[in-house]
A and B are shown apart, each in its own frame.
Chain A
């Protein structure tokens, strides 16, 4: 090797290195610049102002706890007790939580020495440890209190409305009603609502104890009361999950069934006519390009909201994807097996059945099962738009902005559902085509 050669190699190596160096520093610099642009385009700085941290606190605490409302109507003096203040969670007439006592003077023990007393004449007394006694009187639409003007920030008082937030609970007083909220951890009434005779009985008692409701056997009665629980709506939730899985199943399988014959028309080997191939391929590209969102919107106009619309949206979009994947698999089949089958005098349809299909079945099944899992997630999302399944229940629960424990419940169910579908499709794939890993 001459000196000239050597210097040439050297300069080439130098050029390569400088190119690599440029790339190694350039790529991160470009990404960084892009992030800076995004920082301003998305107004990240303004986010802290727009964010509502009270909402976050409500969300975080409500999702694992519930509150029981004790309400006095300040006009009629009538008392009501209800979980989450909902009619479905109301205590039956004549019953009340055991932390409430007294008849003329109703004493509510919020725990931690915080005591609320509802006195006659719309008066309210709150004993707050470390602060003192707060007195409030509702007269017509006005409220008078003994609070100083410089009340601490956990008290929000005007002459129309007083709101006091203590660690043990919350009190709001307006002219029309006095409400006391007592917080407890857990999801109350998850099994039985108050109107069910099984409320407050343990599992052991229901399974082996005496008949609680004389007209029904314990187990059937308990299951039916749980199933028809008005607060948590287990029946509707089960139907919704069923609908979502149904959308995914029907959509995926329907797409595969429609895509298979079309894939033959898009594969060069099986469709010698160029125009047929081109038309089929453009059809696949088109249905894939018109996204599931647009299909959902268009189909919802024709079929109305519901699982059928979601099914068809998944079906049409995935038909394009499946068609593309299947036709690629068909391009790659081994000609020898087809020739072998043909040599036995097989007709074209038999050649496809015994020469082609066995070769592509593993690819097909793997893709279909993979899509079944991913479509369970899509069905949740499409359901939220078109109105069907667990996606709709979730959006509704979020939009009401108060049933966060239900939102948490649905989220857990969705995650469990998707993971179950994931392991089911993985298991089925292992059974049908053998485990790869």
Chain B
């Protein structure tokens, strides 16, 4: 009897100690969580204050002006709504140029990314010792924002679609190369070995052994990039690389009186982005689902 009581007391003691240590742990976790949250909030608030200070116009003054410019544009566009279809037709070639820049750069960079990814994947690489070199060069290509290359090339080649195309292609090749290489790492090596046993050379092994396995994922990533590149090519146009962005800058420089042009360009750009967004997401779903099935 006494034994049992003793055992019970001991058990209660263990439970108590477990409970206190658990509570202490919870306390510590809460403290750390709270501290992290506090640091995060301080960073956000102070960052916001700094950004607000260094901005030309303040946040609270500007907040109620957000609607002004769109309202002006919309009002003027509505006034001249009869001209809109004509303007859309007028800017259509610029839109085609923007899409062309995105398409060509995606095609080129998909080809370059394909080769780079195979060269930098362990197990598939042609020269295994060169893997770090290719990886580093892809990192650098990925890190260079398009606008940097575009601005430098505009200085050399003059304005137009080619600088934008090259700039986007270089950045995209790095980005796609990394994504492609992650896919290729998971590829089954048996077909490659089988092909090697028949005496196939490296390019034949890759073309017939690896590509069929990774093609759906590669295509899906390339489509995603195409979508991103349309946006990028519109932005680069704004700094002088042709296409819709260039027309937008010109229309904006005119100010009131030409807002109908700006509105037409906004409509074209918005429509294009949504259109290609939908198409690419539908095809990407089909590509990745088709693989799982």
Interface residues of A, Cβ cutoff 8 Å to B: 31, 34-35, 38, 41-44, 47, 50-53, 55-56, 59, 243, 246-247, 249-250, 253-254, 285, 288-294, 297-299, 301-309, 311, 377-378, 380-381, 384-385, 387-388, 391, 394-395, 398, 401, 407, 411, 414-415, 418-419, 422, 437
Taking CB atoms, residues of chain A closer than 8 Å to B235 are 291-293, 381, 385
Number of interface residues of B (CB under 8 A): 60
Taking CB atoms, residues of chain B closer than 8 Å to A47 are 157, 160, 162
Taking CB atoms, residues of chain A closer than 8 Å to B40 are 253
Chain A residue at minimum C-beta to C-beta distance from B57: A304
Verify if B293 is at the interface (C-beta below 8 Å from A): no
- B107 and A298 contacting across the interface, CB-CB below 8 Å: no
Verify if B34 is at the interface (C-beta below 8 Å from A): no
Verify if B273 is at the interface (C-beta below 8 Å from A): yes
- B160 and A50 contacting across the interface, CB-CB below 8 Å: yes
- B239 and A299 contacting across the interface, CB-CB below 8 Å: no
Give min CB distance, B47 to chain A, whole Å. 5
A309 to B58, CA, bound (A): 10
Encode B252-271 as 1/0 by CB contact (under 8 A) with A: 10000000000000100110
Verify if B190 is at the interface (C-beta below 8 Å from A): no
Verify if B143 is at the interface (C-beta below 8 Å from A): yes
Known: A291-B269, A385-B238. A56 touches B147 (CB 8 A): no
- A308 and B238 contacting across the interface, CB-CB below 8 Å: no
- A291 and B57 contacting across the interface, CB-CB below 8 Å: no
- The list of the 4 closest CB pairs from A to B, nearest first, reads A304-B56, A306-B55, A304-B57, A308-B55
Taking CB atoms, residues of chain A closer than 8 Å to B143 are 377, 414-415, 418-419, 422
**B residues 255-293 touching A (CB-CB < 8 Å):** 266, 269-270, 273-274, 277
Verify if B104 is at the interface (C-beta below 8 Å from A): yes
Taking CB atoms, residues of chain B closer than 8 Å to A395 are 147, 151, 239
A53 to B56, CA, bound (A): 39
Known: A31-B107, A381-B147. A297 touches B252 (CB 8 A): yes
Taking CB atoms, residues of chain B closer than 8 Å to A388 are 54-55
Interface residues of B, Cβ cutoff 8 Å to A: 40, 43-44, 47-48, 50-52, 54-59, 62-63, 65-66, 68-70, 97, 100, 103-104, 107, 139-140, 142-148, 151-152, 155-158, 160-162, 165, 182, 231, 234-235, 238-239, 245, 248, 252, 266, 269-270, 273-274, 277
- B47 and A52 contacting across the interface, CB-CB below 8 Å: no
A419 to B143, CA, bound (A): 6
- A243 and B62 contacting across the interface, CB-CB below 8 Å: no
- B274 and A306 contacting across the interface, CB-CB below 8 Å: no
- B156 and A52 contacting across the interface, CB-CB below 8 Å: yes
Taking CB atoms, residues of chain A closer than 8 Å to B59 are 303, 308
Given A301-B65, A384-B151, A407-B152, 20 further pairs, Cβ under 8 A: A42-B100, A42-B104, A44-B162, A59-B152, A243-B54, A246-B50, A249-B43, A302-B57, A302-B66, A304-B57, A381-B145, A384-B147, A387-B56, A388-B54, A398-B151, A414-B144, A418-B143, A418-B145, A419-B140, A422-B142
- B51 and A414 contacting across the interface, CB-CB below 8 Å: no
- B274 and A285 contacting across the interface, CB-CB below 8 Å: yes
Taking CB atoms, residues of chain A closer than 8 Å to B97 are 41
A401 to B165, CA, bound (A): 22
Known: A41-B100, A293-B234, A385-B238. A56 touches B156 (CB 8 A): yes
- 11 contacts across the A-B interface (CB closer than 8 A): A51-B158, A53-B156, A55-B156, A59-B155, A292-B235, A304-B57, A307-B51, A308-B54, A391-B147, A411-B144, A422-B142
